[in-house]
Amino acid sequence: MTPLFPHTAITPPVAPASPSRGRVRPLGLSEVTVTGGLWAERQQLNATETLPHIHARLESEGWLSNFDRAARGALPEGRRGREFSDSEVYKYLEALAWEVGRRPDAAAEQTFRDVVARVAAAQEPDGYLNTMFGRAGQAPRWSELEWGHELYCLGHLFQAAVARHRTRPDADDGLVAIARRAADLVCRVFGPGGIERVCGHAEVETGLAELGRALREPHYLAQSALFIERRGHGTLADIEWGRAYFQDDVPVREAHSLRGHAVRANYLAAGAVDVAVEQGDDELLDAVRRQTSHAVARRTYLTGGQGSHHQDEAFGEDWELPADRAYSETCAGVSSVMLSWRLLLADGDPAHADLIERTLFNVVATAVGSDGRSFFYANTLHQRTPGEPVDPETTSPRASSSVRAPWFEVSCCPPNLARTIAALGAYVATADDRGIQVHQYADAEIRTTAPFGDVIAFHVETAYPDDGLIRVRITESPEDPWTLSLRVPSWADSATLTDGRDVQTLAPGMATVHRVFRAGDVIELRLPLEARVTHPHPLIDAVRGSVAIERGPVVYALESTDLGASVDRAVVDRGARPVERDGEVWLPIGIRDDDARTWPYGPADLSAAAAREVRLVPYRDWGDRGPSTMRVWLPTTL
């Protein structure tokens, strides 16, 4: 492992992950405020639309009242929802906690407390908390580790408690105490000599580790480490898709790639980074780095999305990245951000922030509709048939991917989006003992105490990603020099930086200015934001002979709404280049005959079609104008 240093004794950041060591430490929600632009709008939408929508659905689906039934001893009769429905309540609580912490709101605070009280009433005296197991007429506790999700649910409970503890350390609502009792039970039951198995869905690992950090309870971290070490030894039953589905095929230290169910894989890897960092375990951290690099290089979509199989919601094999059957589950995107962020904190490598940015703009931002009340569960890169408008009162099958839906039978994604968006400020910037690193660009106010004790404060002003100018305006600075670092994304091959004195041309990576700053100083980073043509790696079969259009971190899509025909018929000349007009991206596109050969294989067909310029839309906006067909990868003439 690269050398790690203990962070100085600063108050832990108000953030989802707060490792005690690492190359950089996060700046939390008390230090970073997103003030404008796309993400500020999305945070507002999250607060005013998404969170109330989720609350209403948790009630109408009966997933909240499961706790009430548990409290009054009325289960299992009338229990509703799948075995993991408790976790949606916990993710909602986590989202509410971040939101109330970010922007105090008495009504939201009361809602939070009311839900916590209902959860609290369902907890059993020994700390056990789950509405699906352990009662007469239910399966016994911990008897169905493959599919029961009991530990998974508790992992989300722990993360909710961490959010509350970090945003309102003195609150008397009781959520932290609930989590502590449950965590103590987990340590008793699953500790050495106990049930030496793991949960089919990883999550408790990172949840326990973070709860341990937040509450300074090393035995929670130790239990997390036990779970990490146990996985991969086949303590879970084999299933149709093999134990790789729940990463129980190969020990974490030995695996060569993220694999199996994509959300489980990322949650597990996040937990493994937590353990590795806290224990100074270079081997374990290297193992996760290796697996992540492999998966990013060979098993990740252009959007940052992960998961090529609908059937098992899993990563495919290397290079197996079908656009039309992309699963790219929303929760896989969320979990990939969690993992990348932990690796960024450990290593300081801006490549992790590049992937986070890509995933935020093209998976997270795509998965929630402009109404804040409709969601993609899967994020396909190619929609062949237009969907039907979805009744806002309905509940959809989980992987319906043609139209954003208000809720799903398996509805992990909406609250996962909500907690991520509410906590977005925590992914913007980090600090080390030399200064501040800005990783994500949005209008923001950043104010923190430098390791050497003085305040550093600045504003970020930008219309990014529409425009490539990022202006940093210093508002407070120590007398001593410090280093401002700004990420130059990997696609930015001609970025420039001016600090008011020099103009430097930058390579991708971290651009740094080390000097004495004064209030009023302005540093400007200019990122080249021309629309560009992107080709796939030649080993990716599914999109060979196709190109995509990107502009900055934003992936573009062609919709039938703009083409006036099914996007399956689109063809782009190999030499075609996008043009920008009035902030829009256009590309010359031809429309092939939808001919009716009786057998679709034979001699080469080299026919082309006359092209005209057609507008592309940011992928995150697709479907917003109603049902359409859509594709990111555009076939070229061969």
User: Of the candidates 72, 172, 594, 610, which one interacts with its own copies according to CB under 8 A?
Assistant: 594
- On whether the CB atoms of residues 24 and 437 are closer than 8 A, the answer is yes
Rule CB under 8 A: is residue 379 a binding residue for its own copies?
no
Contacts of 374 (CB under 8 A, 6+ apart): 368, 390, 392, 403, 404, 405, 406
Compute the least distance from the CB of residue 219 to its own copies, in Å.
38
Residue 199's closest CA among 235, 229, 156?
235
Q: Which of 72, 501, 581, 597 binds its own copies (CB under 8 A)?
A: 597
Query: Is 398 one of the binding residues for its own copies (CB under 8 A)?
Result: yes
Strand, coil or helix: 86: helix
CA distance 518 to 475: 8
Q: Quote the radius of gyration of the chain (alpha carbons, Å).
A: 24
Per CB under 8 A, the segment of 55-63, 111-119, 224-232, 314-322 that binds its own copies is 314-322
Q: Is 69 helix (H, G, I), strand (E, B) or coil?
A: helix
Axis-axis angle for helices 218-230, 262-279 (nearest 10): 130
**Binding residue for its own copies, selected from 47, 176, 287, 571, defined by CB under 8 A:** 571
H helical segments located in 191-301: 204-215, 218-230, 262-279, 282-298
Would you count residue 241 as binding its own copies (CB under 8 A)?
Answer: yes
- Tokens of residue 97, six digits: 């906690």
CB-nearer residue toward its own copies: 79 or 298: 298
Question: Does 49 contact its own copies by CB under 8 A?
Answer: no
305 contacts its own copies (rule: CB under 8 A): no
Burial class (CB in 10 A: 0-12, 13-18, 19+), 102: buried
Question: Nearest approach, Cβ of 308 to its own copies (angstroms)?
Answer: 8
Q: Does 397 bind its own copies (CB under 8 A)?
A: yes
Half-sphere exposure of 214 toward its Cβ, with a 13 Å CA cutoff?
A: 28
422, 43 in Cβ contact below 8 A?
yes
Q: Is 536 in the site for its own copies (CB under 8 A)?
A: yes
User: Quick one: which of 504, 539, 580, 613 contacts its own copies (CB under 8 A)?
Assistant: 539
Question: Residue 358 CB, nearest distance to its own copies (Å)?
Answer: 9
> Using the rule CB under 8 A, is 542 a contact of its own copies?
yes
Among 95, 100, 228, 351, binds its own copies (CB under 8 A): 351
d(CA 492, CA 514): 22
Taking the complex as a whole, the smallest distance from the CB of residue 406 to its own copies amounts, in Å, to 17
522-526 and 509-515 beta bridge pairing: unpaired
Q: How far is CA 382 from the centre of its chain?
A: 21
Between strands 435-438 and 482-488, the pairing is: parallel
113 binds its own copies (CB under 8 A): no
Q: CB of 357: closest distance to its own copies in angstroms?
A: 12
Interface stretch with its own copies, choices 104-112, 113-121, 446-454, 544-552 (CB under 8 A): 544-552
143 near its own copies, judged by CB under 8 A: no
* Residue 310 in the binding site for its own copies (CB under 8 A): yes
Nearer to its own copies, 318 or 621 (CB): 318
CA distance 439 to 607: 46
Q: Is 300 in the site for its own copies (CB under 8 A)?
A: yes
CA distance 160 to 163: 5
Among residues 167, 207, 48, which one has the least CA distance to residue 425? 167
Q: Are 560 and 628 in contact (CB under 8 A)?
A: yes
**How many residues line the site for its own copies (CB under 8 A)?**
66
Provide the H-helix boundaries in 49-105: 51-60, 65-71, 85-102
Interacting span for its own copies (CB under 8 A) from 112-120, 140-148, 315-323, 473-481: 315-323
The reply on whether position 363 binds its own copies by CB under 8 A is no
Site for its own copies in 479-518 (CB under 8 A): 490-491
Nearer to its own copies by Cβ, of 409 and 454: the residue is 409
Residue range at the interface with its own copies (CB under 8 A); choices 11-19, 23-31, 90-98, 603-611: 603-611
**Per CB under 8 A, 635 contacts its own copies:** yes
Q: Which residues bind its own copies (CB under 8 A)?
A: 239-241, 293, 296-298, 300, 302, 308-311, 316-320, 322-325, 351, 354, 382, 384-385, 397-399, 409, 490-491, 534-546, 548, 568-569, 571, 592, 594, 596-605, 607, 633, 635, 638
